[in-house]
Structure 1
Amino acid sequence: MIKRVLMPVASALLGWSAMTSCESGGAESQKSGPAGAGAITAEVIVVKPEMLERKINVTGTILANEEVVLRSETAGRLQKLNFREGSVVHRGTLLAKINDRDLQASLRALQLQDSLLTREEQRKKRLLEIKAISAEEYDQVQTMLQTNRAEQEVVRAQIERTEVIAPFTGVVGLRRVSEGAMMDTNAELATLKQLDPVKIEFAVPERYRAHLKAGTPVSFSVTGVDSVFAAEVYAVEAMIDAGTRTATVRALCPNPDYLLFPGAFARVEIKLESINNALLVPAEAIVQQMTTKNVFVIENGKAVSREVTTDIRTDSRTQIVSGIAPGDSLAVTGLLQLRNGIRVRAIEPTTSDS
């Protein structure tokens, strides 16, 4: 009877001992787990100072450096067209000629009169010297000679208006008339554009107006040409457009190969200034609050929120001017899970934006 009582008691004691042993082993296992258990994993970068070029990007239009519409100054038959469409012509080249036969005849008649009056003036001058004629008679012939020469100048001016001369070296556009056509005064013949150099016209927001002056370098590209062109600002409009709050700027660019044409759309990049020792961080590392901007700096393995002040923003990064210092470790991922004092397991970013 005694044996039957002792055996169940012994079994119970062995069972209690085994359970106590298992619980003790589990607690020890939990205490000896990984140190980072419960920490937030985040990609972290080290802030480093670097050179920052402050740039803005705007759109613009290519313009001819000089451009005129070639027109006839007088009416008449178009006698000669002395250019090929799309060709380069040089300054002073005779491009078109209106029939001037009647004017040439008038000029020859006046020149013959000039010859006769000159001889008469010389004869009267000798007679005046010996007092054979009065001074009034000499003055009359001298006046007639001067009037004749003035009339010759008028006719020569009329003849000049029958000629269309290239005012500068440039490319002639498509002609609007043919040889033999009857021209009205001010009739359009073609256009002439100076394409080397060309102008680039663009507008910048008024807050950047003070950064632009003659000599400011710009770069630009155009559709269809796989090159980036360098230009230089030569003039800035002396006022701000009240409607757009922008200032119009013009730059010059050499165009010896005629790759750039008026009217082309240009994508313009303007370098405003260079900043040494700028602190740039990925834009996604900044947490936008209601009234502040914050970042998470990792100190002693824990996240610390810091309010920052930002300035220039590039395509993917933002300049921070206060709130962090060179050498700070900055979290760039997992920001929604981070809080002040939370433990962070730092890993290197998969793609570095530092």
Structure 2
Amino acid sequence: MKRSAFVIALFCLNLVFFSCGEPEESNEEIPMETFRDEVQATSVMVSQSETKSFDYLINATGKIEAANEVMVIVERPGYLIELQVEEGQKVQAGQILARLDKTDSQMEWERAQVDLRSATAEYQSRRIAADVETTIMDSLESSERDEFWKASSGLLSAQIAVREAERNLEKTEIKAPIAGAIADLQLKKGSLVNAGDEVCLLLSTDLLEMKVKVLESDISFIRKGQKAEVYPVSGSGEGISGTVGSINPKVDENGLVQVTLNLQQGGSLLPGMNARAIIRSPQNNSLVVPKEAVVYRSGRPVVFTIENNEAIWNYVEVGKDNGREMEILDGLLTSQPVIISNNVQLAHQAPVQVITE
């Protein structure tokens, strides 16, 4: 019994000893500035928000077309005895492309000339015999009498026949109606052709155009004469400059509006080639930042500014985007320093160190 009481007393003494030996926990809160001092500053690059003219870029795709495109056709039947062009060749307006056998046309013209001379002789004889005409002729003016003699002698119809023969003779030479390049050459030398047969397609490759479809929400930013750049869809080859030539005042069933771009030189672009266009729409007095300054947190755009070497989180409302800069509608002031690098994982009031390239 005494032994058991001794053991219990010894256990209680040990318990008191170890309890007195444990250090007391401190309830004092450590300031956040202490933790920030221990975190290494993030190296960042900065730019500035600016109020300036901002080019809103409208992107669209379409096909390159020749501004002038004419199908050259045969106007009278005959044998094609000469073909003076080949595909891809550039020609001038009025240049002879091909010749037909003109034997029949030449005979028609000569026959018309004979008829004309006969009618002229008859006309002259009627004028000489005017003094023996009835008194009805005396009631006519001299110009009316002259027209009467021309009609009755057959001179008028003969003159018309000569002009028709001359036109038919001219049609034996097939000429270029416009300047351009030969495409889709259909005929070969020596072939028998009929009126209406297609010879070739003539394209004005030095004056191109491009028809693109633009969203109806963007059409208010487009005006005639605005600048545009056009590039091959393939990405190869240099782009060419152009201007907005016309805007179709109709929205189609897909909510798109057709815009025609006038291109001044062909470069590496050819009719029928797929291309993409960038139409520039200047916006005056817009607050803009580099696109890299805008990051998204939970789907909302954020821009970090700098105060006292700390990143400051700013929710912003963004507007238009031109690929290099972004318009800020609300949330920033002009001339504020904005962080444009290493800002994806930044936190509010995180320490930063500004560096330069």
Tell me if TM exceeds 0.5: yes
1:167 shift after superposition: 0.7
Residue among 252, 267, 271 paired with 1:262: 271
Residue 250 of structure 1 corresponds to 260
Q: Secondary structure at the match of 1:266?
A: strand
Partners of 2:235 and 2:325 lie apart in 1 by 30
Residue 181 of structure 1 corresponds to 191
Q: Secondary structure at the match of 1:128?
A: helix
2:281 aligned with 1:280: no
Residue 68 of structure 1 corresponds to 70
Amino acid at match of 2:262: L
Contact map agreement 1:64 1:195 (CA 8 A) in 2:
yes
Amino acid at match of 1:236: I
Q: Secondary structure at the match of 1:219?
A: strand
Q: Secondary structure at the match of 1:36?
A: helix
Partners of 1:278 and 1:343 lie apart in 2 by 24
Q: Structure 1's 224 and 216: CA in aligned 2 closer, same or farther, altered over 3 A?
A: same
Q: Secondary structure at the match of 2:79?
A: strand
Residue 36 of structure 1 corresponds to 36
Q: Where does 1:340-351 land on structure 2 (aligned, <5 Å)?
A: 343-348=349-354
Q: Secondary structure at the match of 2:185?
A: coil
Residue 104 of structure 1 corresponds to 106
Residue 321 of structure 2 corresponds to 313
Q: Which moved more, 1:168-177 or 1:312-321?
A: 312-321
Residue 271 of structure 1 corresponds to 280
Q: Where does 1:82-101 land on structure 2 (aligned, <5 Å)?
A: 82-101=84-103
1:316 shift after superposition: 6.2
1:253-284 deviation per Cα after TM superposition (whole angstroms, max 9, x unaligned)? 2327x543111222322110144452315365
Partners of 1:224 and 1:343 lie apart in 2 by 43
Partners of 1:121 and 1:327 lie apart in 2 by 94
1:114 shift after superposition: 1.3
1:102 shift after superposition: 1.9
2:248 aligned with 1:237: yes
- Structure 2 unaligned spans of 5+: 1-17, 139-144
Amino acid at match of 2:164: V
1:23 shift after superposition: 9.2
Partners of 1:178 and 1:350 lie apart in 2 by 69
Q: Secondary structure at the match of 2:98?
A: strand
Residue 168 of structure 2 corresponds to 158
1:123-169 deviation per Cα after TM superposition (whole angstroms, max 9, x unaligned)? 22111135499859994764311122222233333334443221111
Q: Aligned pairs, how many? A: 324
Partners of 2:337 and 2:112 lie apart in 1 by 95
Q: Where does 1:46-65 land on structure 2 (aligned, <5 Å)?
A: 47-49=48-50, 51=52, 52-65=54-67
Q: Which moved more, 1:180-189 or 1:326-335?
A: 326-335
Q: Structure 1's 219 and 103: CA in aligned 2 closer, same or farther, altered over 3 A?
A: same
Contact map agreement 1:203 1:246 (CA 8 A) in 2:
yes
1:295-324 deviation per Cα after TM superposition (whole angstroms, max 9, x unaligned)? 566666777655422101243653221112
Contact map agreement 2:71 2:202 (CA 8 A) in 1:
yes
1:37 shift after superposition: 4.7
Partners of 2:320 and 2:101 lie apart in 1 by 66
Q: Secondary structure at the match of 2:250?
A: coil
* CA RMSD in angstroms, aligned pairs only: 4.1
1:217 shift after superposition: 0.9
1:206 shift after superposition: 1.4
1:179-208 deviation per Cα after TM superposition (whole angstroms, max 9, x unaligned)? 111112211222111111222222221122
Q: Which moved more, 1:141-150 or 1:124-133?
A: 124-133
Partners of 2:216 and 2:40 lie apart in 1 by 45
Q: Which moved more, 1:207-216 or 1:342-351?
A: 342-351
Partners of 1:316 and 1:91 lie apart in 2 by 45
Q: Which runs of 4+ in 1 moved over 6 A?
A: 300-304, 334-337
Amino acid at match of 2:225: G
TM-score (norm 1): 0.75
1:63 shift after superposition: 1.3
- Structure 1 unaligned spans of 5+: 1-15
Contact map agreement 2:83 2:99 (CA 8 A) in 1:
yes
Amino acid at match of 1:272: S
Q: Secondary structure at the match of 2:125?
A: helix
